[in-house]
Amino acid sequence: MAYKKKTKKVKRQVNTAVAHVKSSFNNTLVSITTQDGDVLFIASAGKLGFKGSRKGTPYAATQVGSVLAKDMLATGIKEVEVNMQGPGSGRDSVVRALQASGLNVTVLRDVTPLPHNGCRPAKKRRV
């Protein structure tokens, strides 16, 4: 049986990345992608070891941002666009952590989905 030749992993040269921040009340998820949408790095408060209600805190989000910024600077990324989604308290903390670590934040976008009177609400609760 012939063995498959392993292909070498290609290191990408990326100057500008996009940080997608999804901040809920319970957690903060951040994924770093290229401009085309190829995912480079992912981190969350739960992945860093925070448990329970501490995952939704601004401090946990700051830690997520600084960990990702360290990885991004190692690969040569200097500029970041940030797409923020959700109502959580970690939204701004991630951006502050990225800026504090030496990355240049070029665009701040709020991409939280807002319904234009879409779904019909659930029936009224009778107690």
Q: Which two tokens stand for residue 48?
A: 């860093």
Dump pLDDT digits (tens) for 26-58.
999 999 999 999 999 999 999 999 999 999 999
Residue-level pLDDT at 6: 81
Q: How far apart are CA 15 and CA 75, in angstroms?
A: 9
Residues of the chain with pLDDT under 50: none
Would you kindly state where each structural domain of the chain is located, as residue ranges? 16-110
User: To which CATH superfamily is domain 16-110 assigned?
Assistant: Ribosomal protein S11/S14 (3.30.420.80)
Residue-level pLDDT at 10: 72
